Amino acid sequence: MADGVLDRKLRELVAQYEHVQAELSTPEVSADMDALRRLGRELARLEPVVSSYRRLESLRAELAGAREMRDVEHDDEMQAMAREEITRLEAAEAAELEALTVHLLPRDPNDDRNVIVEIRAGAGGDEAALFAGDLLRMYLRYADRHRLRAEVMSLHETGIGGVKEAVVEIFGEGAFSRLKFESGVHRVQRVPATESSGRIHTSTATVVVLPEAEEADLSIDEDRDLRIEVKRSSGPGGQGVNTTDSAVRITHLPSGLVVEIQDERSQLKNKVKAMAILRARLLDRELSRQREADSVTRRSLIGAGDRSDKIRTYNFAQDRVTDHRIGMDLSNLPGVLDGNLDRLLEALSATDQAERLASLADDGEGGS
């Protein structure tokens, strides 16, 4: 991004920061808890940028002084000291500029939300369901390692320990930002436990990661927009024992989306879970439409990945996990499936950031 464009954006943010500070000191805002929270979040968002910009301004002032000393000083030793100081300050200025550019990247407003992860067995029959179960455990272990709370909202198992479909909510600050690049087709290559000839099979499972939606995000008229049906839920293993009229099926009529939950014996709990999943799916639809119009996201390999894309392969014979989007290979596949996802997730986040920085630079040059 050109320096002039960057400086203009930074001056605008400083003015915004000072305006928020002034608002927070008014009696009207002091008496309004909602306004206090809203403005407090805004101040917290702007503060790192403004602090960094002020450090940059201070560095530039020091740099100007060092350059002046170099140009007017006739003493060789003093000139050498000035040149050394200039080298140090120029490096510090470059680092601060890089940090500021990162701060100026458009921030995903959903990053701090809880997340809903949906896992479905794909091609491969029983082996695909077993792999879907592996992925479910992987995300549950990841949440546990990072002290995030996970709740299984819906679980449809097979008779041999596999998973046809699972929906998990993971609670904790930044949960969505951690896992948002996991959406897509995951592929496994291994010899199934049920395979007597020892042939390697390829199976798939699909993962969808959704930010949790709040009621304020969407306008849903339960009377007009929803058809809510209650039916008998099956007992353990799909048997017709211990059934209750607690299974809830909700159809969102405008979109045709359907959510069915029967895991709880309480009809009310099942309805609450189904509504949470429905809201998340509706919010995701709206966000997808917005992403289509966002050039920075659209140009990002990571941020615009289609859910039908094969994103990762877990190869047991070679003890290798490959993320195809960034060409990254990791060994210790059992460790990855045990929730050791940090290296993968950090690499995906870094690649996304680099691509968005490049797009931001292109946009700045085009508009300057």
Model confidence pLDDT, tens digit, residues 179-238: 999 999 999 999 887 676 778 899 999 999 999 887 767 788 888 888 988 877 665 444
pLDDT in tens, 15-26: 999 999 999 999
Here the tokens at position 296 are 């920075």
Q: Average per-residue pLDDT in the chain?
A: 84
The predicted structure's pLDDT at residue 178: 92
By mean pLDDT, which of 3-7, 88-92, 211-215 is the weakest?
Answer: 3-7
The predicted structure's pLDDT at residue 270: 86
By mean pLDDT, which of 82-86, 144-148, 193-197, 293-297 is the weakest?
Answer: 293-297
* Mean pLDDT for the stretch of residues 55-84: 90
Q: 231-240: long-range contacts at Cβ-Cβ below 8 A with a sequence spacing of 24 or more?
A: 233/262, 233/263, 233/265, 233/270, 234/262, 237/159
Contact partners, residue 35, CB within 8 Å, separation at least 6: 23, 28, 29
pLDDT category, 240, cuts 50, 70, 90? very low
Question: The dihedral of CA 239, 240, 245, 250: what is its sign?
Answer: positive
3-state SS class at 231: strand
In residues, how long is the chain? 368
- The answer to whether 139 and 152 are in contact (CB under 8 A) is no
* Mean pLDDT for the stretch of residues 113-122: 93
The predicted structure's pLDDT at residue 203: 93
Strand partners, 151: 169
* Mean pLDDT for the stretch of residues 293-322: 71
Percentage of the chain modeled with pLDDT above 90: 41
- State how far the Cα of 55 lies from the Cα of 92, in Å rounded to an integer: 10
- State how far the Cα of 88 lies from the Cα of 71, in Å rounded to an integer: 17
The predicted structure's pLDDT at residue 368: 43
- State how far the Cα of 49 lies from the Cα of 43, in Å rounded to an integer: 10
- State how far the Cα of 190 lies from the Cα of 84, in Å rounded to an integer: 59
The predicted structure's pLDDT at residue 198: 77
